[in-house]
Amino acid sequence: MTTMQMQTTTTEELVGRAATIGAALASSAILHDRDGTFVQEGYDALRSAGLLALAVPVELGGLGATPRQITAVQRELAHHCGSTALASSMHQHVTAFTAWRYRRGLPGAEATLRRVADDGIVLVSTGGADFTSPRGEAVKVEGGYSVSGRKVFASQSTTGTVMSTMFAFDDPEQGRRVLNMAVPLASDGVTLVDNWDAMGMRGTASGDIVLEDVFVPDERVVANRPHGVVDGPLQVIFSIAFPIVSGVYLGVAEAAYSNALEVAMRKADDPVVQRQIGLMAHRLRVASWALDGACDAAGDDPQPSMETVAAVMAAKREIALAGIEVCDVAMEVAGGAAFFKGSVIERAYRDIRAAKFHPLTPEQTLLHAGQLALGFPADRF
């Protein structure tokens, strides 16, 4: 299949579904943030609303959402619970890339998508930390590979079913390679480590996953890529994933702004407060334009393009920096009350800090853009 399916659900309807379950997400967000526990109620609500199958094509039982629509949904979820939005965005972008593979008739894609739609399985990604030089090694054995390593920042691992991950492999003919593969989390040799105790996004269950001599059959290897290189498939993954992830952080910042605006109404005559509200509104407006631009650049069915990657990364950088400033100013506007645990602004202030940790970092983004503009190789990290 090479063409996009006609969509039967509008963006407004999909965002409406997310808004409808928002109260359920928000009611448990404080407790999960306090205790550092996984936002299971959020996932139950997502599953009940059909949103875990958001990116699955309609003919396979899903909602057939485009990357732009997924971005809008995750942005809305973040208004209510940043951890639910960020953790589920990892599932969503893997599912969306699997749908991209399905449209090209690539092996394994249809079966995975049907399981997402029919069985409600959750896909876990380790790509953000693995990137072009993955943690761990693959060794060729009869019928497949034996893989070992420690994966970090593995969001939603406690509820995940299959891990979309990668390992370095020393190929005797091709040299150092990266093998992308699907590893069931129930496999022998897979251990989930309960070590997620972070400053923000505390409900994402982004603990480590340790793999020791885990057997992965040949049919579960979905790509063999050059090591250290942002190659074509990885360019597509970036183009799909990072508008979705960036939408989450924009949603977090918007939630902080909305709460600060409520407080500001009580001291609206203060010129300093007026300027602070204007600054936040300005930064959010420009960040929203940046996100729209990233979605426009990537489109509904992106092709490998380093220019598209640069556009998406530029938007991600703008949203990260704007979001951090907005959350900082929101705390100033709200005053001492926002300094206490349990405040939406206090949680957003911590959650937004995670925006800088996803590749590319803000500084790497500038370096990459400069290399690309000046004609230097810009595909190695």
pTM: 0.96
CA–CA distance, 214 with 92 (Å, rounded to integer): 25
pLDDT of residue 7: 55
pLDDT of residue 381: 83
Q: Is the peptide bond before 14 cis (omega within 30 degrees of 0)?
A: no
- Which residue(s) pair with 223 in the sheet? 180
* Residues whose CB falls within 8 Å of the CB of residue 250, separated by 6 or more in sequence, listed in order: 75, 78, 284, 287, 288, 291, 319, 323
CA–CA distance, 96 with 244 (Å, rounded to integer): 10
Q: Can you read off the two tokens belonging to residue 80?
A: 């209510």
CA–CA distance, 74 with 247 (Å, rounded to integer): 6
CA–CA distance, 54 with 146 (Å, rounded to integer): 33
* Residues whose CB falls within 8 Å of the CB of residue 119, separated by 6 or more in sequence, listed in order: none
The helix (H) or strand (E) run that includes residue 326 is: helix 306-334
pLDDT of residue 8: 64
pLDDT of residue 288: 98
The helix (H) or strand (E) run that includes residue 328 is: helix 306-334
Domain 127-226 belongs to what topology? Butyryl-CoA Dehydrogenase, subunit A; domain 2 (2.40.110)
CA distance readout (Å), 358 to 230, 241, 317, 370 = 15, 11, 10, 19
3-state secondary structure of 273: helix
> What CATH number labels 11-121?
1.10.540.10
34, amino acid identity = R
**Is residue 43 within 8 Å of 90, Cβ to Cβ?**
no
Same fold, 127-226 and 232-374: no
**Is residue 1 within 8 Å of 301, Cβ to Cβ?**
no
- Kindly state the DSSP code that residue 182 receives in the 8-state scheme: E
pLDDT tens-place values along the chain, 381 residues long: 334 445 568 999 999 999 999 999 999 999 999 999 999 999 999 999 999 999 999 999 999 999 999 999 999 999 999 999 999 999 999 999 999 999 999 999 999 999 999 999 999 999 888 989 999 999 999 999 999 999 999 999 999 999 999 999 999 999 999 999 999 999 999 999 999 999 999 999 999 999 999 999 999 999 999 999 999 999 999 999 999 999 999 999 999 999 999 999 999 999 999 999 999 999 999 999 999 999 999 999 999 999 999 999 999 999 999 999 999 999 999 999 999 999 999 999 999 999 999 999 999 999 999 999 999 999 988
Exposed / middle / buried, residue 336 (Cβ in 10 Å: 0-12, 13-18, 19+): exposed
DSSP string, 336-369: GGGGSTT-HHHHHHHHGGGGGGSSSPHHHHHHHH
The helix (H) or strand (E) run that includes residue 214 is: strand 209-217
Q: Which of 243, 237, 304 is nearest to 99 (CA)?
A: 237
pLDDT of residue 127: 85
How, if at all, do strands 162-171 and 175-184 pair? antiparallel
pLDDT of residue 244: 98
- Indicate the domain borders of the chain: 11-121, 127-226, 232-374
Q: Which of 238, 112, 102 is nearest to 164 (CA)?
A: 112
pLDDT of residue 9: 85
Domain 232-374 belongs to what topology? Butyryl-CoA Dehydrogenase, subunit A; domain 3 (1.20.140)
3-state secondary structure of 4: coil
CA–CA distance, 5 with 100 (Å, rounded to integer): 11
